Structure 1
Amino acid sequence: MSFEVFEKLEAKVQQAIDTITLLQMEIEELKEKNNSLGREIEAAANGRESLVNENAQLKQEQQAWQERLRVLLGKMDDVS
């Protein structure tokens, strides 16, 4: 009888070891995925920052062109 109990216990221990091993593998995969997603987030943030800077620069250029146009229109009004 004790041999059967020992076999059952051994089977449960082996099952627990297998489960732990699978969970450790899953944890490693999730860590890798998390790191990958972190890099993607960082790249997206850098891209966003670049776009924000470019947008600000384009707005400044637009304002400069609008001011030039106002000056030219003002000169045209003076000529008329």
Structure 2
Amino acid sequence: MSFEMFEKLEAKVQQAIDTITLLQMEIEELKEQNSALKQDAQQAAGNHESLTRENQQLKEEQTQWQERLRALLGKMDEV
């Protein structure tokens, strides 16, 4: 009977080892996914900053064009 108990214990230990191995592999996959997501987030933040700067520049250009147009309209009113 003692030998049977050792066999059962050995099977349970092997099952635990297999489970641990699978969990470690899953952890590695999740770490890789997390790393990829962090890179995506950093890239998105960089894109956001770039678009914010471009938007600001375009707003400034629009303001300049509006001022030029007002000046031209003012000159036309004088004529």
TM-score calculated relative to the size of structure 1: 0.98
Paired with 2:53 and 2:78, the residues of 1 have a C-alpha distance of: 38
Partner of 2:56: 56
Percent of aligned pairs sharing the same letter:
73
Which structure 1 segments of 5+ residues have no match?
none
RMSD of the TM alignment (CA)?
0.3
Which structure 2 segments of 5+ residues have no match?
none
Paired with 1:72 and 1:34, the residues of 2 have a C-alpha distance of: 56
Residue identity opposite 2:48 in structure 1? R
Q: How many residues align?
A: 79
**1:2-41 counterparts in 2 under 5 A?**
2-41=2-41
- SS in structure 2 of the partner of residue 20 of structure 1: helix
Runs of 4+ in 1 over 3 A off after TM superposition: none
TM-score calculated relative to the size of structure 2: 0.99
Paired with 1:31 and 1:2, the residues of 2 have a C-alpha distance of: 43
